[in-house]
A and B are shown apart, each in its own frame.
Chain A
Amino acid sequence: MMSELLEILTYPFVYRALIAGALISVCASVLGVILVLKHYSLIGHGLSEVGFASLSIASALGLPVMLVSAPAVIIASFVIMFVSQRFRAAGDIAIAIASSAALALGVLVSSLTGQVSAVSNYLFGSVLALSDGDMILAVMLSLIVMGVFIVFYNRLFLLAYNEDYARSLGINTTLYQFVISALTALVVVMGMRITGTLLISGIIILPAVTARRLASGFRSLVVMSGIVSLVSFVLGLAVSFMINIPAGAGVILANTVILILVRVIF
């Protein structure tokens, strides 16, 4: 059993999946802490639908997916943030409208152009089909997300804790809200390959919710969220590999099982 596992690790497609997936899972879950605390959880979901629409269009036009999706999702994240700032209560409604409209558009384009199978990779993820280029891109984007998160950590903490108070310290809260949006957009774009657009919001939200039971401070919460996400990813990937189900489903199920266990035990 052990030697079989070790042998599996020597397949390039497996270690590519492990490296890219682990980094993206950690990024998503760390950012997820802030999104959950600020009740922005829905944003990840909304953006993933926008991501889906943009990649249907990209594959219909024969353009590289990243080139279309990354800008589209980032712009969408700014629009959503802007709308939810302006019209507080209407924020959720705006996200719901934007995301279902985007999903419908995506379905329309992909069925008209007969690209359904290519698109379904993105719906459910295809982490085991990553190329070297995909992996390098994932590593670079993850490093950017983590770097920005670490550099602005103290500011993001204040923003999550209490916007009024952050403002009284002279911190430009609007700026950091857009920083959060941009990071979320990057995570969603990367995550589309791992869990697929349908499940990406799960790897953003679930680990943070699990970790809340395990941490009393903010930093420990961030660290625990990352650990929970990493463990869930590796477990989920292993299980999906063994019983041959889409990796995204395995990862989300692992996250869910850990969440339930932690809730029951602690």
Chain B
Amino acid sequence: MTERLRLINAVIKYGDVKAVDDVSLTVRDGEFVFITGANGSGKSTLTRGIAGLLPLSSGTITRTERLGYVPQVEEADRNFPASVWEIVITGTQGRGGLFYSMGSRRRALQAMDELGIRDLAKRGINSLSGGQLRRVLLARALCGEPELLLLDEPCAGLDAESHALLFSVLRKNVASGCAVIMVTHDASDLEGIHADRVITLSHGRIVNDE
């Protein structure tokens, strides 16, 4: 089995406050990991650290370059004048090229089909509903053929149908060797898919991992 992520004694601070405190975590290909915990327990901070958006104050991280990251939606994303297509295809970036290849375009279209947002392609993202925008961000994460998917509360605001769709897409990716780390509050998410592990955070520390 290939390791997709290895965190050793990771600490992430905001000023003097440790939002992630001494977290060690290894995730391998084909693994499905849930992260839960109370509001403010450090889940988003941990995922942002894994995504490389926040520096570790101490500890080490090694992970695959091929990352698909879906943040908790930020307002900044909503008001930007861009079409759905323009946002989705950015998921294929990060491979160095300045222009999108035919292959990238094909994968972006495929991801949009999978998530049922192809007909939204030309719409401005500022005209989407919350759930539609979340699907856009998911399609974006998927079209880069990620080896590690990092999802921060992807189910918030999804209707039952989208919820089922999300899990079937995730199952397919896991089956083909992608590792998934999903942050969720919702116990019912845990029923949508067989989780290999459920990790519980409290005050930035892992208090349970099973």
Which of A157, A168, A212, A215 has the most C-beta atoms of chain B within 10 angstroms of its own C-beta? A168
Q: How far is the CA of A62 from the CA of B201 in the complex (A)?
A: 69
The answer to whether B123 and A216 have CB atoms under 8 Å apart is: yes
Q: How far is the CA of A155 from the CA of B96 in the complex (A)?
A: 10
Mask, B72-98, CB within 8 Å of A = 1, is 001011001111011100100110001
**With an 8 A cutoff between CB atoms, is B124 at the interface?**
yes
Which of A158, A160, A165 has the most C-beta atoms of chain B within 10 angstroms of its own C-beta? A165
CB of B9 to closest CB in A, whole Å:
23
The answer to whether A152 and B65 have CB atoms under 8 Å apart is: no
Which B residue's beta carbon lies closest to that of A164? B53
* Contact flag A171-B93 (CB < 8 Å), given A217-B83, A217-B124, A221-B81: yes
CB of B37 to closest CB in A, whole Å:
22
Given the complex, which residues of B lie within 8 Å of A171, measured CB to CB?
93-94
Q: How far is the CA of A224 from the CA of B199 in the complex (A)?
A: 49
Name A157's contact: one of B71, B86, B123 (CB within 8 Å). Answer: B86
The answer to whether A216 and B124 have CB atoms under 8 Å apart is: yes
Name B51's contact: one of A37, A168, A218, A220 (CB within 8 Å). Answer: A168
Mask, B94-118, CB within 8 Å of A = 1, is 1000111000000000000000000
Q: How far is the CA of A218 from the CA of B88 in the complex (A)?
A: 13
Name B53's contact: one of A167, A218, A219, A220 (CB within 8 Å). Answer: A167
Which of B51, B74, B93, B124 has the most C-beta atoms of chain A within 10 angstroms of its own C-beta? B93
Given the complex, which residues of A lie within 8 Å of B83, measured CB to CB?
216-220
CB of B108 to closest CB in A, whole Å:
13
* Contact flag A161-B90 (CB < 8 Å), given A151-B98, A218-B83: yes
* Contact flag A217-B81 (CB < 8 Å), given A157-B86, A161-B87: yes
Q: Tally inter-chain residue pairs, CB-CB below 8 A.
A: 69
Q: How far is the CA of A152 from the CA of B97 in the complex (A)?
A: 10
Given the complex, which residues of B lie within 8 Å of A169, measured CB to CB?
90, 93-94
The answer to whether B82 and A218 have CB atoms under 8 Å apart is: yes
Given the complex, which residues of A lie within 8 Å of B82, measured CB to CB?
157, 161, 217-218
**With an 8 A cutoff between CB atoms, is A10 at the interface?**
no
Which A residue's beta carbon lies closest to that of B79? A37
**With an 8 A cutoff between CB atoms, is A170 at the interface?**
yes
Mask, A161-202, CB within 8 Å of B = 1, is 110110111110000000000000000000000000000000
**With an 8 A cutoff between CB atoms, is A154 at the interface?**
yes
Q: How far is the CA of A169 from the CA of B51 in the complex (A)?
A: 9
The answer to whether A152 and B98 have CB atoms under 8 Å apart is: yes
Given the complex, which residues of B lie within 8 Å of A162, measured CB to CB?
74, 76-77, 80
Given the complex, which residues of A lie within 8 Å of B71, measured CB to CB?
164-165
Which A residue's beta carbon lies closest to that of B87? A161
The answer to whether B86 and A219 have CB atoms under 8 Å apart is: yes
The answer to whether B52 and A168 have CB atoms under 8 Å apart is: yes
Which of B77, B80, B82, B83 has the most C-beta atoms of chain A within 10 angstroms of its own C-beta? B82
Q: How far is the CA of A155 from the CA of B86 in the complex (A)?
A: 12
Which of A154, A169, A170, A219 has the most C-beta atoms of chain B within 10 angstroms of its own C-beta? A169
CB of A170 to closest CB in B, whole Å:
5
Q: How far is the CA of A161 from the CA of B77 in the complex (A)?
A: 7
Given the complex, which residues of A lie within 8 Å of B122, measured CB to CB?
216-217
Given the complex, which residues of B lie within 8 Å of A219, measured CB to CB?
83, 86
Which B residue's beta carbon lies closest to that of A169? B94
Given the complex, which residues of A lie within 8 Å of B99, measured CB to CB?
154
Q: How far is the CA of A171 from the CA of B76 in the complex (A)?
A: 19
Q: How far is the CA of A33 from the CA of B196 in the complex (A)?
A: 46
Binding site for B on A (CB under 8 A): 37, 151-152, 154-155, 157-158, 160-162, 164-165, 167-171, 212, 215-221
Binding site for A on B (CB under 8 A): 51-53, 65, 67, 69, 71, 74, 76-77, 80-83, 85-87, 90, 93-94, 98-100, 122-124, 126-127
Query: Would you list 17 pairs from A and B whose C-beta atoms are within 8 A, ordered by A residue?
Result: A158-B90, A160-B80, A162-B74, A165-B71, A168-B51, A168-B52, A170-B65, A170-B94, A215-B81, A216-B81, A216-B127, A217-B86, A218-B81, A218-B82, A219-B83, A219-B86, A220-B83
